[in-house]
Structure 1
């Protein structure tokens, strides 16, 4: 599988595969030594699973790669535990070669991405604000697993008051338009093409939207858009 991924990514022309790892512990060591921009992480691996490896890589202040979890298992516990650990993307191994290449490019650009199969589940889980069963805590609850934001400090800032507030940030017409497209899971490049503006301009609009919403990341902004009927 790794050999196949390497061939696909290197054939893209603008991607260099810096290294490979066959276990979670090797992945942590390789990330520390090689300082990659993007890590494609499996979940089930010997000696340390990909969720823990992701958590340790993100915790290393000297290394700041974007981590895209690529797994065969379309399971909510893997999905939400990966996001909680700090992954910026979740892709299934049945994705086509062009999707893998696109995922790495999107992650390298600082954007988050989710496989289309799981995007709606993430939005629904955030919006419901209910506990998600995890591998450590199958019944859910606040003592284990991933939890959607239920307090102002989780996902949104206190000023945004994402839960149940009537406060609406003052977005410009263009920012609102960009937010709607972000909520449709479009990348910055796709938004730029749709609106006939530069990708750098899109990044500026997205940054302004996140700041005004008090949103930690694009996922939180997507949730806001769906809650407010903007998507």
Structure 2
């Protein structure tokens, strides 16, 4: 049986995730909190097999909640969920110890799969939901691709990156698609997260 702890400042999100996850076979208990302080208090009192932390609205607190929880409880199995264009905060949470990332608009099957994979990963001591290349993989990005990746890690739009590099937005998108492919990433958030794992950005 599995226990889940959800941390997000939006009541509707907490309730929505609870409804979906309560239907997953093997889930025994689902607890919800709204803030980082509540997360730390609840986890210390009663740990969970999988912790889901949202970054969609409370960007700083989501990443900070992950860092604080992992610092106090390194064994915690944390997953973050947020918007794909919120790459900086998701990457910061992963850099702080989160084991993986899930889009905030994930479908019901994706949520179920994330919970199942996270639970298996926690039991095996692995890094679940890592839908990118392995941390030790050799990634050869061009200098321009590196510049685009660094811009993404700073939360800049394609237009902003293009203006800084004197490139058209379409050219930036082309470099982005190439680095996504090299990093086995589906979107900006996954690319930046993988960049942190591989030491390409900091």
TM-score band, normalised by the shorter chain? 0.5 to 0.7
The answer on whether the counterparts of 2:79 and 2:101 sit within 8 Å (CA) in structure 1 is yes
Runs of 5+ unmatched residues, structure 1: 137-182, 186-218, 224-231
Residues 115-156 of structure 1 deviation map (CA, whole Å, 9 limit, x = unaligned): 6xxx48x999964495845569xxxxxxxxxxxxxxxxxxxx
Q: Does 1:19 align with 2:35?
A: no
Corresponding residue of 2:113: 102
Corresponding residue of 2:101: 90
Corresponding residue of 2:129: 113
Corresponding residue of 1:60: 72
SS at match of 1:18: strand
Tell me how many residue pairs correspond in the alignment.
141
Q: For 2:16 and 2:36, how far apart are their aligned partners in 1?
A: 19
TM-score, normalised by the number of residues in structure 1: 0.49
Closer, same or farther: CA 19–80 of 1 in aligned 2, 3 Å: same
Closer, same or farther: CA 47–41 of 1 in aligned 2, 3 Å: closer
Q: For 2:48 and 2:64, how far apart are their aligned partners in 1?
A: 18
Residues 3-62 of structure 1 deviation map (CA, whole Å, 9 limit, x = unaligned): 11111101112113331011222122222222101001001566961111111111114x
Corresponding residue of 1:40: 52
Deviation at 1:103, TM superposition (A): 0.7
Q: Which has the higher strand share?
A: 2
Closer, same or farther: CA 76–123 of 1 in aligned 2, 3 Å: farther
Q: For 1:126 and 1:66, how far apart are their aligned partners in 2?
A: 27
Q: Does 1:51 align with 2:63?
A: yes
SS at match of 1:5: helix
How large is the Cα RMSD of the aligned pairs?
4.0
Q: Does 1:30 align with 2:46?
A: no
Q: Which has the higher helix share?
A: 2
Corresponding residue of 1:154: none
The answer on whether the counterparts of 1:42 and 1:50 sit within 8 Å (CA) in structure 2 is yes
Closer, same or farther: CA 8–95 of 1 in aligned 2, 3 Å: same
After superposing on structure 2, the runs of 4+ consecutive aligned residues of structure 1 that deviate more than 2 Å are 44-48, 72-76, 122-136
Q: For 1:24 and 1:75, how far apart are their aligned partners in 2?
A: 19
User: Does 1 or 2 have the higher relative contact order (CA < 8 Å, sep 6+)?
Assistant: 2
